[in-house]
Amino acid sequence: MRNIILTSGAIIVLTLIYFISLSREKPDLDKPQLIISCKGNVHFDLARPNSTVAMEGSVGLTTLGSKRLALEFSGQLLTEQGRFTLSRTLMMDYLYHPENYILELNYADSQVRDIDTAPDDIVFQAILKSHLSILKLSQFSDNALLISDSSTPLFVCIAQ
């Protein structure tokens, strides 16, 4: 009789642990998933204390699930080191904050196409400046987002 009571108690405890662990692993259904696939034409002129950088071309932004996004750059990059053809995709890990429409980006990898002539270090200094960055998303119209950094609008991204 004692073994039956202990076995029943153990089953009840294991069942409670199972349901508690399921409730903790349940995804946050209230948090909206960010889904973006857009592209915009750009002309950047960035003045820095020791250099000037310009980019003319296009930038695309596409989410790849809930944690990764692709920033695609194509066009011309003009730096003090020279003029370069830019054709690459920067893979970024992201964390989206829907309460203030902020994307925290963390550089993960680059995919460079054959026509790209820009050295990695020049692209990093010209475009990224850091492995971590923050973008602000603002709805511009039904199919367009205004992408900004901490102080400046960067480009309008049109839905693809």
Structural domain count of the chain: 1
Identify whether 76 is part of a domain. yes
Work out the average pLDDT over 104-122: 94
Residue 9 has pLDDT above 70, yes or no: no
Residue 125 has pLDDT above 90, yes or no: no
Identify whether 97 is part of a domain. yes
Determine the pLDDT at residue 74: 95
Identify whether 14 is part of a domain. no
Identify whether 16 is part of a domain. no
Determine the pLDDT at residue 12: 53
Identify whether 112 is part of a domain. yes
Identify whether 118 is part of a domain. yes
Identify whether 85 is part of a domain. yes
How far is the first Cα of the chain from the last one, in angstroms, to the nearest whole number? 69
Determine the pLDDT at residue 24: 45
CATH number at residue 150: 2.40.128
Residue 150 has pLDDT above 80, yes or no: no
Residue 124 has pLDDT above 80, yes or no: yes
Distances (CA, A) of 9 to 1, 3, 23, 37, 87: 12, 10, 21, 53, 64
Residue-range definition of the domain harbouring residue 138: 37-159
Work out the average pLDDT over 106-133: 90
Determine the pLDDT at residue 58: 92
Identify whether 8 is part of a domain. no
Ranges of beta strands (E only) in 17-81 are 37-47, 52-63, 68-79
Per-residue model confidence as pLDDT tens digits over 27-49: 443 455 788 888 888 888 876 66
